Structure 1
Amino acid sequence: MALRLKSLFPGKSRSGNAKPAGRRRGIGDVTRGRVVFAKGAFALVYVVIAGRLVLLGFAQEPKPLMAPASEIAAARPDILDRNGVILATDIKTASLFAEPRRIVDPDEASEKLATVFPDLGDEKVRKRLASNAGFQWLRRELTPEQRDKVFNLGLPGIGFVSENKRFYPAGNSTAYVTGHVNIDNKGIAGIEKYIDDQWLGDLHQLGFASTPNLEPITLSLDARVQHVVHDEISQAMERYHAIAAAGIVLDAHTGEVIAMTSVPDYDPNDPAQALDPNRLNRSSAAVYEMGSTFKLFTTAMALDDGAIKITDTIDASKPLRVSGRTIHDFHGKYRPLSVPEVFIYSSNIGTAHEAMRVGVDGQKDFLGRIGLLDKVQTELPEIAAPLLPRRWTELTGITVSFGHGISVSPLATAVAAAAIMNGGYLIEPTFFPRSRQEAQAMAKRVVNERTSKEMRYLMRLNVEDRRGSGKRADVPGYFVGGKTGTAEKVVNGRYSNDKRRNAFLAAFPIDDPDYIVLVVLDEPQKEEGAYSAVAGLNAAPTVGNIIRRAAPMLGVMPRYNSDIDRLIDASF
């Protein structure tokens, strides 16, 4: 019986207590295990968080989801003057964008952005920020201060893109040559547009929007001379109370444009100014009746045709009656005039007789040969075509002979003058460097060499002779030659008696001219103490001032002897 009970209760001892089969876990052991597990779990979480933070610290800032490369302002090459002076260059700027999908609170984002840019706080912007778009431009070309202010707002979904912004160190001075770009750094005027049209636009379309280290573009401009011309015509506009002015310096042997500008102008760093219709490129993008400067071409035409000789005399003793119209001289001498006198007295009657001897057909042919009947061929996009008479009658030929009834650009006038002065070769103008050899290879002879020498003589006589209308353009040592032009403006279909456009067309040194200089003043007023407001009293001295300042920069050395006059006289 005892053995049977023992088998029934094997865990009992003799004393009646249960005998342990093994060591059982106590309450303390369970608690301790749970604490250890919790610590391990927390440690693992912190390790994961720490690892993620490290990864984010080394990760690059994510790029916008939908920022198309075509919308990023493209890189452009520097534009330099002929001496390596920078006229246009790229600088880096920040542009502000939003990724609406990542914006947490559009209302808050809009309100905070408005503290920097008030216009970003309106309802239209708030709706854009609340959309599901991947990319939205908010503001282009921020200043560093504006960027810092927006950055400090700490707004999720708001970021910056580094873009190229065009900068023009010369500002207004070169605006009408360099032109300017739009917000996407694409050329829309001047040489900027030209290089886009030629090759840069295609490069960007192929996806090279941020191409670095583009080869610089060198122009024929001389920034120093450009500054002189801009400064002098600005002063002349103020001094003579003109409404506008223009100036050009052209290399007579290569066709290179050394300087070209007009005022009022604009700052290409603020392209919106160019929308003002009064800020017009009057040197190449506008046409005018150039008045008596055309007598240079009429006299050259008659001499080259053989219709007159420089030793001839022309009857200017009375007004000329043609087709019911009477041609007068501004200051008539009422006597026969020699050809040089016709030129220096700027006789309309004498010049009309010269044109009549050549004839209408011969006149049209000659003006076409020297490029005055066609649009100037050059790189600058802003080139105006001439306005020609509808019918070319005998009366038309007479008025055209002294610069009325035909409108051309100042640039076209300077180019034609260079052809008369440089030995007789028409050379297309260029805004890029060109050697004399390259120019000669493309030049077209339009007058013979003797005609060129005779016209240089007449141009010098008009400045040197005390009777000449261009004597106020004389600069000792530089042997300036030139021709004035005072053209009445057309107002309401009729020529005005009190509104004129004055010009002075010059060449120097006149024995073998290196440069053509042209200044145009629109509606200059009579200076205090002056007897009138003709070109000889305002445009001529302005040209003289330009030559006095610019000639040393161009390497033209002054000469103080009379050899030049003997060289010219020897050709007769």
Structure 2
Amino acid sequence: MLEFEGVRKAQGAQARNRIIIAIACFGVIYAVIGGRLVQYGLRSPETVSSINRTNELLTSRPDLLDRNGEVLATDIRTVSLFAEPNKIVDPDEAVELLATVLPDLDQRGIYRKLSSNSRFQWLRRQLTPKQQSQILSLGIPGIGFRPETRRFYPGGPTASHVIGLTNIDNKGISGMEKYVDGQGLGALADAGMTVDEDLKPVRLSLDLRVQHVLRDELAAAMERYQAVAAGGVVLNIHTGEVIGMASLPDYDPNDPVDAQKKDRLNRMSAGTFEMGSTFKVFTTAMGLDSGKVKLTDQIDARGSIRIGGFTIRDFHGKNRMLTVPEVFIYSSNIGSARIADMIGIEGHQEFLTRLGLLSRMQTELPEVATPTQPSVWKKINSVTISFGHGVATTPLQTAVAAAALMNGGKLIEPTFLPRTREEADKVAVQVVNSTTSDEMRYLMALNVAKGSGRRAEVEGFRVGGKTGTAEKVINGRYNSDVRFNAFLSAFPIDNPDYVVLVIVDEPKPEEGKRSATAGLNAAPMVSAIIRRSAAFLGVEPKFGDGGQMLSLSY
């Protein structure tokens, strides 16, 4: 009996020891689990599954700002949905559950991804917070969220062609976004290298206020004149800074579904056009700068010119001798052709090349087209080019060349980044003499006061300019009923600071009018842009004697 009692006590002690050991083991296990939960809780909220932290996944982009510090583009945090197929228990069930939150999901494609043996598959990029919350509540094993950054453009389409776009991986693919990547950010991302701190913002030359005015007036003009497209640029003639540039139709970079459509082309820098009579500005300047033409000279415009099977006529011919200022304000094709003939073919080509009108423009914006010109210049080419037919160039470089004629003769390549006048002087090239610049300012002012540019007048701001109404080529022939109109201007014309150029493609006559020439549509567009933006540009109005038109005696 005593022996049995001893055995029983020994077995009881052994059982208690086993229970204590088991409790201790479970305690250690739960302590480890609790410790790990605390550890995860103290770590960054961006830590998910086996995926690295956000700043190790995707290089942040610097904010893009306008010249006054207004945000044009910035990064916002978002999440994307991924799967680890090797952890998916039931692909069919997972697809069905996900479809309740994402009804447009490609269920067959997702099923193939979830059934694979891979360790990682994207399912949907850039979810909304609501979608993330709903998917989390489904509790699907093997499904996770990867923190990412998405580009956000507060101004929407306001400056879309200049700012550009990023792709789904937040890499710049157009505009200044692409330029920024080209300065080293793209290489950094491609190498898998990142920085923890925020990148320094990139300030652009754009003034968001002027940009808004420009785009707003272009949109209103497209509707008013039932045009297929419109564009415009505001350029500082002393620094080459692009203060505003827009091309319509455009797109919203926050939802760029239309960005690749053909009609969304950035017409100002990536499109080439025959600029029509605005080219007479350069023809006249060429004659004056050569010394072979003076303002007081008489040009024979008494009849048409027959050359190479073509007849050159004036739109509203005066059929008499014209002074050089009259050739300009009456926009005489015959007079311009006579001036080009005085200079000669080689001289004509050299002058346009000197002004940068025949070569690809150099600037930060990637979307820049190369002008087209005849492979071999003949006399007929020089004659037609003198009044804007036969050479196609970009509107932006037309404005840049005009700025050289307004600022004392210095050609300054355009920039979309801030540039001081001192910095501009270091890169400027003298292309015409200062006297030619003075004379061209006089002619531009005269054309608004007495010529085809009268509707560009803005009280107090002394505008000068030149109209351009070009017939478009349809099926290989010029069609007089389909026009590409432009107005090239500078203000304040007695001492200009800015060039403003607008284009309007295939405008129709405004209600109540029979014609749709540039003087009736492009010129009023410039007037409205200057009137609304002058204060933002720091140009003060002048009235009375202080506001009289520039005058020169000849």
Category of TM-score, reference length = shorter chain: over 0.9
Q: In the alignment, what sits opposite 1:543?
A: 526
Distance (whole Å) between structure 2 residues aligned to residue 101 and residue 66 of structure 1? 15
Q: In the alignment, what sits opposite 1:524?
A: 507
Q: In the alignment, what sits opposite 2:39?
A: 59
Distance (whole Å) between structure 2 residues aligned to residue 327 and residue 255 of structure 1? 36
| Cα deviations by residue, 1:98-156 (Å, 9 ceiling, x for unpaired) | 11222222222222111112354623322321322211111111111111111111112
Distance (whole Å) between structure 1 residues aligned to residue 160 and residue 471 of structure 2? 29
Which one of 492, 506, 509 corresponds to residue 492 of structure 2?
Answer: 509
Distance (whole Å) between structure 2 residues aligned to residue 469 and residue 48 of structure 1? 92
| Cα deviations by residue, 1:65-118 (Å, 9 ceiling, x for unpaired) | 477999944310011110001101111101111112222222222221111123
| Cα deviations by residue, 1:298-319 (Å, 9 ceiling, x for unpaired) | 0010011112110111121111
Higher mean C-alpha deviation, range 162-171 or range 104-113: 104-113
Q: In the alignment, what sits opposite 1:170?
A: 155
1:507 maps to a residue whose letter is A
Q: In the alignment, what sits opposite 2:198?
A: 213
Distance (whole Å) between structure 2 residues aligned to residue 45 and residue 155 of structure 1? 31
Q: In the alignment, what sits opposite 2:44?
A: none
**Structure 2 unaligned regions, length at least 5:** 42-46
Distance 1:76 1:228, change over 3 A: same
Q: In the alignment, what sits opposite 1:275?
A: 260
Higher mean C-alpha deviation, range 473-482 or range 120-129: 120-129
Considering only aligned residues, what root-mean-square deviation do their CA atoms show, in Å? Answer: 2.2
On the 8 A contact 1:88/1:167 being kept in 2, the answer is yes
| Cα deviations by residue, 1:178-235 (Å, 9 ceiling, x for unpaired) | 1010000011001111111121112223333454311111111101000000000010
On the 8 A contact 1:97/1:135 being kept in 2, the answer is yes
Distance (whole Å) between structure 2 residues aligned to residue 528 and residue 97 of structure 1? 56
Distance (whole Å) between structure 1 residues aligned to residue 200 and residue 510 of structure 2? 49
Distance (whole Å) between structure 2 residues aligned to residue 534 and residue 119 of structure 1? 49
Distance (whole Å) between structure 2 residues aligned to residue 141 and residue 209 of structure 1? 21
The residue correspondences of 1:37-186 to structure 2 (distance < 5 A) are 39-40=19-20, 43-44=23-24, 46-60=26-40, 63-65=48-50, 72-120=57-105, 122-186=107-171
The residue correspondences of 1:317-332 to structure 2 (distance < 5 A) are 317-332=302-317
Distance (whole Å) between structure 2 residues aligned to residue 135 and residue 374 of structure 1? 49
Q: In the alignment, what sits opposite 2:516?
A: 533
1:275 aligned counterpart, secondary structure: coil
Find out whether 1:289 has 2:277 as its counterpart. Answer: no
1:135 maps to a residue whose letter is F
Higher mean C-alpha deviation, range 320-329 or range 28-37: 28-37
Q: In the alignment, what sits opposite 1:11?
A: none
Identity of aligned residues (%): 56
Higher mean C-alpha deviation, range 349-358 or range 402-411: 349-358
The residue correspondences of 1:234-249 to structure 2 (distance < 5 A) are 234-249=219-234
2:162 maps to a residue whose letter is V
The residue correspondences of 1:324-363 to structure 2 (distance < 5 A) are 324-363=309-348
Higher mean C-alpha deviation, range 518-527 or range 322-331: 322-331
TM-score of the superposed pair, with normalisation by structure 1? 0.92
The residue correspondences of 1:445-524 to structure 2 (distance < 5 A) are 445-465=430-450, 468-524=451-507
State which structure, 1 or 2, has the greater radius of gyration over its C-alpha atoms. Answer: 1
1:482 is displaced (CA, Å) by 0.3
1:486 maps to a residue whose letter is T
On the 8 A contact 2:448/2:465 being kept in 1, the answer is yes
On the 8 A contact 1:72/1:184 being kept in 2, the answer is no
Distance (whole Å) between structure 1 residues aligned to residue 98 and residue 36 of structure 2? 26
Higher mean C-alpha deviation, range 53-62 or range 33-42: 33-42
On the 8 A contact 2:55/2:196 being kept in 1, the answer is no
Find out whether 1:25 has 2:5 as its counterpart. Answer: yes
Distance (whole Å) between structure 2 residues aligned to residue 211 and residue 431 of structure 1? 28
Distance (whole Å) between structure 2 residues aligned to residue 392 and residue 451 of structure 1? 26
Which one of 400, 412, 437 corresponds to residue 397 of structure 2?
Answer: 412
Distance (whole Å) between structure 2 residues aligned to residue 542 and residue 211 of structure 1? 47
Distance 1:93 1:248, change over 3 A: same
2:466 aligned counterpart, secondary structure: strand
Which one of 402, 408, 414 corresponds to residue 423 of structure 1?
Answer: 408
| Cα deviations by residue, 1:14-37 (Å, 9 ceiling, x for unpaired) | xxxxxx8x6640797588658746
2:197 maps to a residue whose letter is P
1:432 is displaced (CA, Å) by 0.6
Distance (whole Å) between structure 2 residues aligned to residue 70 and residue 392 of structure 1? 57
Q: In the alignment, what sits opposite 2:216?
A: 231
Distance 1:66 1:363, change over 3 A: same
Distance (whole Å) between structure 2 residues aligned to residue 535 and residue 470 of structure 1? 8
Distance (whole Å) between structure 1 residues aligned to residue 6 and residue 300 of structure 2? 141
On the 8 A contact 1:74/1:186 being kept in 2, the answer is no
**Structure 1 unaligned regions, length at least 5:** 1-19
Distance (whole Å) between structure 2 residues aligned to residue 464 and residue 71 of structure 1? 62
Q: In the alignment, what sits opposite 2:356?
A: 371
1:193 aligned counterpart, secondary structure: helix
Distance (whole Å) between structure 2 residues aligned to residue 499 and residue 567 of structure 1? 35
| Cα deviations by residue, 1:419-446 (Å, 9 ceiling, x for unpaired) | 0111111011111111111111111111
Higher mean C-alpha deviation, range 487-496 or range 527-536: 527-536
Distance (whole Å) between structure 2 residues aligned to residue 294 and residue 251 of structure 1? 20
Distance (whole Å) between structure 2 residues aligned to residue 568 and residue 497 of structure 1? 36
Q: In the alignment, what sits opposite 2:421?
A: 436
2:80 aligned counterpart, secondary structure: strand
1:236 maps to a residue whose letter is A
Q: In the alignment, what sits opposite 1:9?
A: none
Distance (whole Å) between structure 2 residues aligned to residue 564 and residue 364 of structure 1? 38
Higher mean C-alpha deviation, range 250-259 or range 107-116: 107-116
Q: In the alignment, what sits opposite 1:254?
A: 239
Higher mean C-alpha deviation, range 124-133 or range 65-74: 65-74
TM-score of the superposed pair, with normalisation by structure 2? 0.95
Distance 1:66 1:90, change over 3 A: closer
Higher mean C-alpha deviation, range 401-410 or range 66-75: 66-75
2:448 aligned counterpart, secondary structure: helix
Distance 1:107 1:209, change over 3 A: farther
